[in-house]
Amino acid sequence: MQPKFDLNKIKFVTDQPTFEKAVNLYENGKVSDFQEKFDGFSARVLGGNFYQVSISSKNFSQGSCDCYLGQNDYICKHMVAVAIHAVLGGKPIKKEDKEVFYEPKCSNRPGELSKIELAKTQKSISGAMKYIKSYNGPSRIWFAYQDSLIEGCNRLSAIVSELPVSRQTADLLVKMLLRLDKKLCNGGVDDSDGTVGGFMEELVNVLQEFSRIDHGCTAAFKVLKNQETSFGWEEPLLKLAYGIINV
Ligand SMILES: [Zn+2]
């Protein structure tokens, strides 16, 4: 039975330390007695003790583990290790699959995307944007909702960090910022944890890096003039586009 999740999904919903510990457990053969059940998987994981873990094949975060965190409904490293085993079936985990992007970074690589790459990137941006959705649920799903915002921002971070640097990709990132801003202003996104706002600030830093590598990128920032934004994140970019004047 193939799980409904893949390694990307696991990475994007798990925080970095938990993911790294889980990879460690998996690589060191601590997952044993792996079994398929009718709706999921179970295994024993050797940590400080032997822990009995079971996860759903649809969503590994719906599972149980008898460690302290698992008993308190957190996603623990044992559940994540079993999820990795469900995806890879014991095969080695590739180096690039162990890498996690939790902050958008500048690739420092000048260049443009081909037409096909651009279309592919736009599609994955739209896919990631769906996780940054409006909140209208009861408070008991508040944490799940925040996880969705985190997953969306993590997915976007991974996309951004792969982009070459040019006016073309700067345009793409400016559009991304405006889309996120729209979601914050009137898209019903409840960002009280500051996940989306923090991501946007990091994205502005990436764009500043872009303009250092390729000065032509600053032209992409001009569309931000006279925009009403949620928290003035565009100011450093306007300074780069127009010089240090009142804009
Ligand atoms: Zn556990």
Please identify, among 98, 129, 151, the residue that sits at the C-terminal boundary of a domain.
98
Q: Which tokens hold the place of 104?
A: 């958008």
Q: What would the 3-class secondary structure string for 43-71 be?
A: EEEECCCEEEEEEECCCCCCEEECCHHHH
Residues 148 and 73 placed together within one structural domain of the fold: no
Residues 93 and 120 placed together within one structural domain of the fold: no
pLDDT above 90: residue 176: yes
pLDDT above 80: residue 143: no
Q: What is the pLDDT of residue 247?
A: 45
Residues 222 and 134 placed together within one structural domain of the fold: yes
Q: Please, where are the H alpha helices in 130-229?
A: 142-162, 167-186, 195-213
Q: How many domains, the chain?
A: 2
Rounded distance from Cα 50 to ligand 1 centre (Å)? 10
Q: What is the mean pLDDT of residues 126-138?
A: 90
Residues 148 and 184 placed together within one structural domain of the fold: yes
Residues 148 and 236 placed together within one structural domain of the fold: yes
Residues 156 and 84 placed together within one structural domain of the fold: no
Rounded distance from Cα 43 to ligand 1 centre (Å)? 11
Range with lowest mean pLDDT among 30-44, 69-83, 155-169 = 69-83
Residues 65 and 162 placed together within one structural domain of the fold: no
Q: Which tokens hold the place of 53?
A: 């873990």
Q: What is the pLDDT of residue 140?
A: 64
Q: Residue 75 carries which side chain, given as an amino acid letter? A: I
Rounded distance from Cα 109 to ligand 1 centre (Å)? 40
**Portion of the chain with pLDDT greater than 70, in percent:** 97
Surrounding ion ligand 1 within 5 Å at CB are 65, 67, 70, 76, 78
Residues 61 and 90 placed together within one structural domain of the fold: yes
Residues 12 and 46 placed together within one structural domain of the fold: yes
Whether 120 and 97 have beta carbons less than 8 Å apart is answered as no
Radius of gyration of the chain (CA): 21
Q: Is residue 121 part of a domain?
A: yes
Q: What is the DSSP letter of 33?
A: E
Q: Which residues contact 71 (CB under 8 A, 6 or more apart)?
A: 65
Q: Flag whether the pTM goes above 0.85.
A: no
Q: Is residue 104 part of a domain?
A: no
Please identify, among 98, 125, 146, the residue that sits at the C-terminal boundary of a domain.
98
Q: Tokens 């804009």 map to which residue?
A: 247
Whether 131 and 155 have beta carbons less than 8 Å apart is answered as yes
Rounded distance from Cα 44 to ligand 1 centre (Å)? 10
pLDDT above 90: residue 153: yes
Provide the residue range defining the domain that includes 159: 115-242
CA angle 50, 52, 55 (to 5 degrees): 140
**Portion of the chain with pLDDT greater than 90, in percent:** 71
Q: Is residue 108 part of a domain?
A: no
pLDDT above 60: residue 96: yes
Looking at every residue in the chain, the average pLDDT score rounds to 92
